[in-house]
Structure 1
Amino acid sequence: MGLLIKHWPRIGITLIPLVFALLHATGVLPIGVLQRLDDIIYDARLRATMPKTLDERIVVIDIDEKSLAEVGRWPWGRNRLAGLVDEVFNRQKAALLGFDVVFAEPDQSSGLARLDELSKGELKDAPAFTERLAQLRGTLDYDSMFARSLEQRPVVMGYYFTSDREGRTNGMLPAPVMTREAMQGRPIAFTSWNGFGSNIEQVAKAAPVAGYFNSITDGDGVVRSIPLVAEYKGNYYESLSLSMFRMLAGQPQVQPGFPRDRFIGRGYTGLESIILRQGDKSLAVPVDSRVAALVPYRGPGGVGGQSFRYISAADVLAKRLPEGSLKGKIILLGTTAPGLLDLRVTPVGETYPGVEVHANVISGLLDDKLFVKPDYAMGYEVVVLLFAGLLLAFALPILSATRAVAVSVLMVILLVVQNFYLFQTQGLVMPLASALIMAITAFALNMSYGYFVESRSKRELANLFGTYVPPELVDEMVKAPENYSMAASNKELTVMFCDMRGFTKMSERMEPTKLQELLNSVFSRLTDLIRSNRGTIDKYMGDCVMAFWGAPVDTPNHAQLAVKSAMEMANAVRKINEEHRAQGIPEIGVGIGLNTGMMCVGDMGSHIRRSYTVIGDSVNLGSRLEGLSKAYGVDIVVSESCRRAAPDFAWQELDRVRVKGKEQAVAIFWPVAPSDRVEKGTVEELKTWAAFLKSYRAQDWDQCDLHMLNLQRMNAKKYLYEVYSERVASMRLLPFDPAWDGATNFETK
């Protein structure tokens, strides 16, 4: 909850694309770009997954350019078409013939109508003419001839529906496959038209099974689907492809497949499927909200598309095919000739034969593999958007940039893989564009907000503290910049004062630029050690550097790190002196004072110049301790409070001192080495030294002399022992003082 409260502006920004995506998905605010992108995604996915194999079950008899050149321009005399039908069934033994053309007007190409006029007019008194006309009528009535060829044969005729102001009609419609009563009063959103153009009555009665060949052209002019069942004046009619499939299946009844979920009310406008029922067997064909199915295109289309076999109608009429070449085949008669205007723009080709659209649907029905955008697609889209959107909205603000990129990429991959899986295995075409754009936009907004808003405060924080604290601490701080500020506060910290000794004499002998270069080199090496131990540089004061630990980033082991840093700095100075001796440069010394205690830390100074620093009595003590290092011949002096907070070192107590400005005596120590690196001889020396200090503070000078002899035997050159030898010799001359606390007073800073 704390993270949510902390990042609520960023979460709110990330939720914006989710809101717009949900408005689009629910139809409250349709976004045309997203619908167009969904179409593009569908088209690309369809092209990528097309089988591009030949379906040998279906053959297209093509009224192509060759046929027009040989037979003549369309429409042909129906005597020729009767011959074609006879050839298809009698000699070629086809299983089914479907016409992707309509015969809406009587065929007068034989001249029979004109001859009838003559027999009733100018030649009505010529019995021989009338008699001869009666003999020829059977061969000149092409419509009757064509109708006879269709009778009692597995033929499905084609027709079309129209929508115009007048609602014009022509020809004879087949019987509907469903009536209004079958809808049970439900307002199903069928594709609906108000006019039609169908076959003449003579043809329609001879071949009573027919289907419309209308497709649905989307807003971008592309044919992606066909309505399997459509509405006209309260009755429901089937498409050419569904009609041909039903004839192959034995003419099962067509019934509406209502949603089975009991929570969906009768006012719901969608169908779940079209049910083909025959006896106790049934087949459910899934449909979308328009009772349509997406065309499962097999390949690029046309003669060269290699999805279906194309045979020129001229070759069929001329009987050039070997007998039985089309045995058991499903035949579609259509055209690819550009002049006959039956070419469509589809996802797989811009000049796609309309007849092959129906061939693809029949193929899909036979394989039970029709693509459909189901009626519950909107609900699916909403659920996916909520899942992905909320996950990104609450996850991205709390993740690093690298992890945010990884999560966003994984989310996009998950959305694409899931969508592709449903398409490939279930034939479901689910919306994807809104979720993809939402995820990408949410990531972009989140990163932009992080960079332009949050990163600004982080950059400001880095600019404020970058010169004081190590880069790694700045990296920690910028993760939660609101937790850090320059405002003053009281905290327990550890402060260090480090003074370079010997630079004053060197300045008398060296050129200023050489001295500056040397001082900068030494400070750089020591500063790197402070920063590597998470220390904050306070300031440089001539040849002295001041630092502290525990702020601005909380560091529980600040005393431990400060002591470690001081010991590394002392070792670094020893190495620097080795280099100086080799180069003939005077050696330098170092004095370091460390104290742990309550201090005031923050941005302090005037309106002209300010700095992030520490002040307080504990800071002053640290400064005094640095000055004592020379008096005891050590490079590091640590207070009692600092020693207690850094238990992982072996310590040698130096003294109890009372520095200027403090009445309370303070025990001071020197860090010998990390506890796990103390040599056995050093352990014995420290025990002897502890015994010496006990005798010293008890004013037992004889015992002090005895311990000192042992100490000097162990470490004869140690300056500390010389100091205490002189003190013992001086204090022997004084009488026993019961009020003496063993502390040494220092009146200078």
Structure 2
Amino acid sequence: MKQHIVRIVLGLLVSLLFLGHAARLYEIGFITQVDNIIYDARLVVTMPRTVDERIVILDIDEKSLQELGHWPWPRDLMARLIDKLFDKYGIAIVGFDVVFAEADYSSGIRTLEQFAQKELKEVPAFQQAFEQMRSKLDYDGLFAQSLKGRPVVLGYYLNNEAGAKRIAAIPEPVLPKGTFSGRNIGFTVWDGYGGNLPQLLKTAAAAGHFNPYTDPDGIVRRVPMLVEFDGAYYEALSLAMMRTLLGFPKVEPGFPPDRFVHRGYSGLEWLKVGPLVIPVDDTVSALVPYRGSKSSFPYISLADVLAERVPAEKLKGKIALVGTTAAGLQDLRSTPVASVYPGVEVHANVISGMLDGRIKQRPPYMLGAEVILLVVSGVALSILVPMLSALWATAVSAGALAAGVGLSVAVWTQIHTVLPMATGLLTIITLYTLNMAYGYFVESRSKRQFTELFGQYVPPELVDKMAEDPGKYNMEPRAVELTILFSDVRGFTSISEALKPEELREYINEYLTTMSQIIRGGHHGTLDKYIGDAIMAFWGAPVDDAQHARNGVLAGLSMQKECKVLNDKFVARGWPKLKIGVGLNSGNVRVGDMGSQIRRAYTVMGDAVNIASRLEGRTKTYGVGILVGEATRNAVKDIVFREVDRIKVKGKDVAITIFEPIGPDSEVERKVLEELKLWQQTLRAYRAQQWDAVELNLLNLQRINPECELYHLYADRVTEFRRNPPPTGWTGVTVFAEK
């Protein structure tokens, strides 16, 4: 983890940044906007797109304005409208998404009153006639009378403008001052209002505000169910209409039981109105459950209602909202489902959602849930992603994104709850991008540096591994146990004489390339150098390799095997056959950047290196392709070896046992194992100077494997020892005076 500490710390800082936004310590506008976009997308994808016939919108449309004149219309006309709706059409309830704040004098009553008080004050006939006509000319009175005893809900608006005025009248609060004392609830608070004439308000069944909650991006996604004005609490138009339909049940604030929440939690989670439970968010607003785009409810022109051009069944028993779609009356809103949307239909959607229980929940405790999820995912990914490869980091990040989206969708569809997604998703994306960018710009630089230092020696995959923890690797000399390999082409002088210069170049290039790929790519070795046609390589540095001896032996076997493939190509081109000798030895050596001030190289030095070189030279003597030292043999357990001899190389007083690797245990045939068993018996007889037994065994071995040069070598030695017996104390060790 140490090598990833920078990325882990950066990841945790990024998570902390997003966590502050999720915990409402501050707001990052971009995240809020993304969250709104995601919310809108979920809403649009899952909305039913059906028409709710239970609710109708009585439209003050362009047609009505053309037939009945500009708005506002005379109140006697509004009185006739109410009478027709209830008496002729049997409407269930009417709600007004308009206000009646000013008195209607269009009948001329004000002028007549002035005459009655001044010019015609002394004319009894005028006074008598005026008194008889007064009630018919009082249009506001007529309208008020038509409302009386009927389920009609008036609308009004609230405002917070500078110097906000209080126009006309608003109803009594639905909940009095002090209802929520001691609880920090985020009600929208207002300073002024535009209400209705007191005489209208007095006869209407109820009244509610029609202010939507407009988010900073100008979109209407919710409507405050309760608002605060002068310390008391007032209901929305939609809530007032539902209460009127239900017989005016009390509004009961819904709080979770104290035993389930922290003492400091003061969130109002729902409102109970009779049998209805209405979920609210931290502003005590209901999320608008849009059914679809405009016209998710039947629209009927008020001109057609007044002219009785509407079939009675279209209105009988319906919930009616009076509002306007006329552009000039400025009640068009921007919503998630349409950029231009009638404000009256917003309230229709809320009422529809109340009836069906489709209003999504976004209770205040979701803030805590979002914070917890963000802490868990942010910390986990901050620690995990830096330690993974790019492919796995991508897979894990994609999985986290999918899990986040899946959880949010499941919560949305199954329990009708809104789980904010933007903070979590942006955290995952940012952490992934940060790590990929860091890997590209910072770690790729380290990789390039390592490639420059070690790329010519070790395979790319080892360079990648080294770049993951650059502090562990350098070119400073150090003592370590390695396995060293030398290989050389036998008879190279004859080969070079048989080929043209350009052919020799191709010959040696193909040989060196093939063998180098086996060493580096196939068996993760470090290529030290080329010495003419010879190759020097080692295992165990710069990257530690617990299997260095095994990998070196397997590389030697693969090189011999590949020689046969190369020979098929060379013979086909008329070139001489290739035959190589390979020597391997393991031991403690010094490895690092060594050389002179003029030229340096990453290489190895030590006795084990020299012995490996000597063993390569002895392969020709014994007629074998590979020879390995005793330390190498002892370090490898799953490869079959043939003991070849015990020798003393030039410059060494201690004898070493040398071996020929035959192949992996699983690949060596039974008859070969039987041959090796007989050979081991022969070696014991040889070292005991039991020449008759040796000769008999060698005859049998030569019949089994007539091409084995080793058997012929020992047969010649026995013949020589019969003529010139070895000295007293001879232990079977062969001494080489030359390298």
Do both proteins adopt the same fold according to a TM-score greater than 0.5, normalized to the shorter chain? Answer: yes
Letter in 2 for 1:292: S
| Matched position secondary structure for 1:34 | helix
Q: Is the 8 A contact 1:186 1:266 kept in 2?
A: no
1: CA distance between counterparts of 2:220 and 2:450? 58
Matches within 5 A, 1:93-112: 93-112=90-109
2: CA distance between counterparts of 1:325 and 1:581? 98
| Matched position secondary structure for 1:599 | strand
**Which among 277, 282, 298 is matched to residue 289 of structure 1?**
282
**Which among 378, 382, 385 is matched to residue 389 of structure 1?**
378
The more displaced of 688-697 and 108-117 is 688-697
1: CA distance between counterparts of 2:84 and 2:47? 33
Q: Is the 8 A contact 2:58 2:302 kept in 1?
A: yes
| Matched position secondary structure for 1:36 | helix
Q: Which residue of 1 aligns with 2:606?
A: 616
The more displaced of 338-347 and 458-467 is 458-467
2: CA distance between counterparts of 1:352 and 1:580? 82
Q: Does residue 81 of structure 2 align to residue 84 of structure 1?
A: yes
Q: 1:243 to 1:505 in 2, by over 3 A?
A: same
Q: 1:473 to 1:312 in 2, by over 3 A?
A: same
Per-residue deviation at 1:288? 1.8
The more displaced of 614-623 and 157-166 is 157-166
**Which among 611, 621, 625 is matched to residue 635 of structure 1?**
625
**Which among 223, 244, 249 is matched to residue 246 of structure 2?**
249
CA-to-partner distance for each residue in 1:384-420, whole Å, 9 max, x for gaps? Answer: 2112211211221222211211111121122222223
**Which among 4, 8, 16 is matched to residue 11 of structure 1?**
8
**Which among 396, 405, 415 is matched to residue 404 of structure 2?**
415
Q: Is the 8 A contact 2:151 2:205 kept in 1?
A: no
CA-to-partner distance for each residue in 1:272-294, whole Å, 9 max, x for gaps? Answer: 222325xxxx5432222222112
Letter in 2 for 1:393: S
**Which among 51, 54, 60 is matched to residue 51 of structure 2?**
54
| Matched position secondary structure for 1:498 | strand
Q: Which residue of 2 aligns with 1:468?
A: 457
CA-to-partner distance for each residue in 1:557-580, whole Å, 9 max, x for gaps? Answer: 433443343344334445555655
| Matched position secondary structure for 1:182 | coil
Q: 1:541 to 1:42 in 2, by over 3 A?
A: same
Q: Is the 8 A contact 2:154 2:206 kept in 1?
A: yes
CA-to-partner distance for each residue in 1:172-226, whole Å, 9 max, x for gaps? Answer: 3222211114334544332222222222222222225211222222222222222
Q: Is the 8 A contact 1:178 1:255 kept in 2?
A: no
1: CA distance between counterparts of 2:488 and 2:262? 86
Q: Does residue 600 of structure 2 align to residue 603 of structure 1?
A: no
Q: Which residue of 1 aligns with 2:523?
A: 533
**Which among 198, 202, 205 is matched to residue 205 of structure 1?**
202
Per-residue deviation at 1:67? 1.0
2: CA distance between counterparts of 1:673 and 1:191? 83
Query: What is the percent sequence identity of the aligned residues?
Result: 49
Q: 1:506 to 1:185 in 2, by over 3 A?
A: closer
Q: Does residue 499 of structure 2 align to residue 506 of structure 1?
A: no
1: CA distance between counterparts of 2:193 and 2:702? 122
Per-residue deviation at 1:160? 1.9
Q: 1:453 to 1:578 in 2, by over 3 A?
A: closer
Counting matched residue pairs gives: 738
Q: Which residue of 1 aligns with 2:113?
A: 116
The more displaced of 668-677 and 621-630 is 668-677
2: CA distance between counterparts of 1:120 and 1:528? 117
Q: 1:456 to 1:83 in 2, by over 3 A?
A: same
Letter in 1 for 2:293: P
Letter in 2 for 1:347: P
Q: 1:120 to 1:472 in 2, by over 3 A?
A: closer
**Which among 141, 144, 149 is matched to residue 144 of structure 1?**
141
Q: 1:493 to 1:163 in 2, by over 3 A?
A: closer
CA-to-partner distance for each residue in 1:60-79, whole Å, 9 max, x for gaps? Answer: 11111111111111111111
Q: 1:464 to 1:119 in 2, by over 3 A?
A: same
Q: 1:441 to 1:503 in 2, by over 3 A?
A: same
Q: Which residue of 2 aligns with 1:521?
A: 510
CA-to-partner distance for each residue in 1:132-175, whole Å, 9 max, x for gaps? Answer: 22232232121111111111111111222233444422223222
**Which among 318, 333, 342 is matched to residue 322 of structure 2?**
333
2: CA distance between counterparts of 1:445 and 1:576? 48
Letter in 1 for 2:608: S
Q: Is the 8 A contact 2:148 2:205 kept in 1?
A: no
Letter in 2 for 1:110: S
The more displaced of 50-59 and 241-250 is 50-59
Matches within 5 A, 1:337-356: 337-356=326-345
| Matched position secondary structure for 1:349 | coil
**Root-mean-square deviation over aligned CA pairs:** 2.8
Q: 1:706 to 1:212 in 2, by over 3 A?
A: closer
2: CA distance between counterparts of 1:189 and 1:677? 78
CA-to-partner distance for each residue in 1:31-64, whole Å, 9 max, x for gaps? Answer: 1111122222222222222222111111111111
Q: Is the 8 A contact 2:178 2:231 kept in 1?
A: no
Q: Does residue 366 of structure 2 align to residue 361 of structure 1?
A: no
Q: Which residue of 2 aligns with 1:664?
A: 654
1: CA distance between counterparts of 2:401 and 2:554? 49
Q: Is the 8 A contact 1:188 1:268 kept in 2?
A: no
Q: What TM-score do you get using the length of structure 2 for normalisation?
A: 0.92
Q: Does residue 485 of structure 2 align to residue 496 of structure 1?
A: yes
Q: Which residue of 1 aligns with 2:42?
A: 45
CA-to-partner distance for each residue in 1:469-499, whole Å, 9 max, x for gaps? Answer: 3445445545555444333333333222212
The more displaced of 530-539 and 722-731 is 722-731
1: CA distance between counterparts of 2:50 and 2:673? 89
Q: Does residue 559 of structure 2 align to residue 569 of structure 1?
A: yes
CA-to-partner distance for each residue in 1:295-340, whole Å, 9 max, x for gaps? Answer: 2222222xxx2x1111111111112223454211111111111112
2: CA distance between counterparts of 1:502 and 1:459? 40
